[in-house]
Chain A
Amino acid sequence: MRVYDTDLGSDLLLGTAQYPSPATLAQAITASGAAVVTVSLRREGGHGTGFWPLIQAAGCRILPNTAGCHSAQEAVTTACMARDLFETNWIKLEVIGHADTLQPDPFALVEAAGILVAEGFEVFPYTTEDLIVGERLVDAGCRVLMPWGAPIGSGQGLRHREALATMRAHFPSVPLIVDAGIGAPSQAALAMEMGFDGVLLNTAVAKAGDPVAMARAFGQAVQAGRAAHLAGLIPPRDMASPSTPIFGMADLATVLA
Chain B
Amino acid sequence: MITVLGMGGAGLCAATALTEAGLAVQLAAPQGPSASHLAGGMLAPFCEAEAAPALVTTLGRGAAGWWEARVPGVHRCGTLVIAPPRDGTELRRFASRSTGHQALDGTGITALEPALAGRFSRGLFFADEAHLDPRAALAALAATLRAKGVAFDRTAQGQIVDCRGIAARDRLPALRAVRGEMLLLRCPDLTLSRPIRLLHPRFPCYLVPRGKNTFMLGATMVESDHAGPITARSTMELLSAAFAIHPTLAEAEIIETGAGLRPAYADNIPTVQHDAGRWHLNGLYRHGFLLAPALAQQLAARLTIIPEPIHAD
Contacts and interface: CB of A to CB of B under 8 A. Distances in A.
B226 A209 contact: no
A44 B226 contact: no
B143 interface: no
Contacts of B97: 209
A209 B52 CA distance: 10
A153 interface: yes
Interface in B30-53: 51-53
B232 interface: no
Contact of A50 (B177, B202, B233): B177
Interface string A27-50: 000000000000000011111111
Given A23-B266, A50-B175, A45 B53 contact: no
Interface stretch (B11-19, B217-225, B299-307): B217-225
Most chain B beta-carbon neighbours within 10 Å: one of A46, A47, A209: A47
How many chain B residues sit at the interface, stated as a range, is: 20 to 34
B59 to A, nearest CB: 15
A54 B173 CA distance: 12
Interface in B239-270: 264-269
Nearest to B56: A20
Interface residues of A, number: 19
B224 A20 contact: no
B51 A50 contact: no
A21 B224 CA distance: 14
Contact of A22 (B52, B96, B176): B176
A51 interface: yes
A22 B265 CA distance: 9
Interface string A133-163: 0000000000000000000010000000000
Given A43-B222, A49-B224, A54 B266 contact: yes
B309 interface: no
Given A21-B266, A51-B176, A46 B226 contact: yes
Interface in A35-89: 43-51, 54
B93 interface: yes
B118 interface: no
A43 B233 CA distance: 10
Contacts of B224: 43-49
A20 B52 CA distance: 6
Given A20-B53, A22-B176, A49 B96 contact: no
Given A26-B266, A51-B176, A54-B176, A20 B51 contact: yes
Given A49-B177, A50-B175, A23 B268 contact: yes
Given A20-B51, A21-B268, A24-B267, A49 B223 contact: yes
A2 interface: no
Contacts of B265: 23
Contacts of A50: 175-177, 223, 225
A170 interface: no
Contacts of B52: 20
B267 A21 contact: yes
A50 B169 CA distance: 10
B22 interface: no
Contacts of B229: none
A24 B51 CA distance: 11
Interface string A103-116: 00000000000000
Given A21-B267, A24-B267, A45 B96 contact: no
A117 to B, nearest CB: 29
A42 B97 CA distance: 29
Contact of A49 (B201, B225, B269): B225
A153 B96 CA distance: 18
Residue of A21, A47, A207, A209 with highest tally of chain B CB at under 10 A: A21
21 contacts: A20-B51, A20-B52, A20-B53, A21-B266, A22-B268, A23-B265, A23-B266, A43-B222, A43-B233, A45-B225, A46-B224, A47-B224, A47-B225, A47-B228, A49-B224, A49-B225, A50-B175, A54-B266, A153-B201, A207-B93, A209-B96
Instruction: Please provide the 7 A-B residue pairs with the shortest distance between their CB atoms, ordered closest to farther.
Output: A50-B176, A47-B226, A51-B223, A23-B267, A21-B268, A23-B266, A44-B223
Interface of A: 20-24, 26, 43-51, 54, 153, 207, 209
Interface of B: 51-53, 93, 96-97, 175-177, 201-202, 222-226, 228, 233, 264-269
Given A22-B268, A23-B267, 10 more contacts: A20-B268, A21-B266, A21-B269, A44-B223, A45-B225, A47-B224, A47-B225, A48-B226, A50-B225, A209-B97
